[in-house]
Amino acid sequence: MGQTPTLHMLYTCPFCWKVRSLTEHLGMDVEYIGVNGMKIKKEVAFAGDWGKVPVFTGEDGNYVVDSTPLMIHLDATYNGGKMAAMGDAERQKKWLDWADANVSKATVPILYGTLGAALKTTTRISKLEKFGFFSKRLYAWAGFPIMWGIIARKRVKKDGRTPKQLWHDLLTEFTDQHGGKPFFGGAEPDLVDFAMFGYTRSISPFPQFKLLEDHEKGMVWYQRMMGTLQ
Ligand SMILES: N[C@@H](CCC(=O)N[C@@H](CS)C(=O)NCC(=O)O)C(=O)O
């Protein structure tokens, strides 16, 4: 036995919630370390050039980065690789890629799609995350509403769907894959369930979450996933 594993994360980072949901499901003893959103590179400098969260450090002091490989690592190390071995490996890989390619992109527009939404999200983030007094205000009033709001609006326009419609379509596409079973993985959740759950859960502290709440099948699955956490 070495040190207690740590997970460096941002409270509002969707990728971090993929990993954290899995550690909570497995009932792991992990110390969650909230980094300062304005100093991510510095705070995870111990993990080399990566410069992003999440970063997981195991009992042996070795770190693992990048949420999807990190989930696969946790399953292999702390769960006997049970999730990776569930069902068709190719299907699992395809849908992990699908979630990373599509769902992460849908998250930014829903949180920052209009200037009003961007400002609401940003002030909420500045309350949730750890910032210094000045950066807190700077972050709330200047940074994200302008930068991300503009990027998100461009993306939404190009797609032609509202951020809500986009999320609903993704949840439908995903739950259609369950084939009447409780989870994507079948009777039990697999890595795709946890990736999708992490993305969805990262929106839950924000008022925009109500836009997802009328996706009935999606929410039934979401609550079921909540029930698998320890
Ligand atoms: N592909 C990575 C993406 C991680 C990522 O982009 N994290 C963001 C926070 S949501 C970050 O740390 N960004 C800092 C930066 O890019 O400077 C993953 O899945 O873990």
Cβ neighbors of 230 (< 8 A, separation 6 or more) are 24, 25, 26, 27
Residue 118: pLDDT over 90: no
The percent of residues above 70 in pLDDT, for the chain, comes to 90
pLDDT at site 12:
84
Q: What is the DSSP string of 59-126?
A: TTS-EEESHHHHHHHHHHHHSTTTTTTSS-HHHHHHHHHHIIIIIHHHHHHHHHSSHHHHHHHHHHHH
Least confident among 2-11, 38-47, 54-63, 142-151: 142-151
**Partners of residue 49 on adjacent β-strands:** none
pLDDT recorded at residue 146? 61
pTM, entire model = 0.92
pLDDT in tens, 34-86: 998 888 999 999 999 999 999 999 999 999 999 999 999 999 999 999 999 99
Residue nearest to atom 2 of ligand 1 (CA): 66
CA–centroid distance, 100 to ligand 1, in Å, is: 12
**What percent of the chain is predicted at pLDDT more than 90?**
70
Q: Which residue has the higher pLDDT, 201 or 150?
A: 201
Here the CATH number for the domain that contains residue 71 is 3.40.30.10
Q: What HEC string does 21-39 produce?
A: HHHHHCCCCCEEEECCCCC
Residue 168 has pLDDT above 70, yes or no: yes
Q: What pLDDT, on a 0 to 100 scale, did the predictor assign at position 108? A: 82
Mean pLDDT value of segment 4-12: 94
What is the side-by-side strand order in the sheet with 63-65? 31-34, 6-9, 55-57, 63-65
Give the structural domain span for 41: 6-78
For the CA of 54, the nearest atom of ligand 1: 20
Ligand 1 pocket test, pick from 53, 105, 128, 139 with the greatest ligand atom count within 8 Å of Cβ, gives 53
Q: Distance from first CA to last CA of the chain, Å, rounded?
A: 22
- pLDDT, residue 134, reads 66
Domain assignment of residue 84, yes or no: no
Q: Which ligand 1 atom lies nearest to the CA of residue 16? A: 20
Asked if residue 32 belongs to a domain, the reply is yes
106 inside domain = yes
End position of a domain, from candidates 78, 110, 133: 78
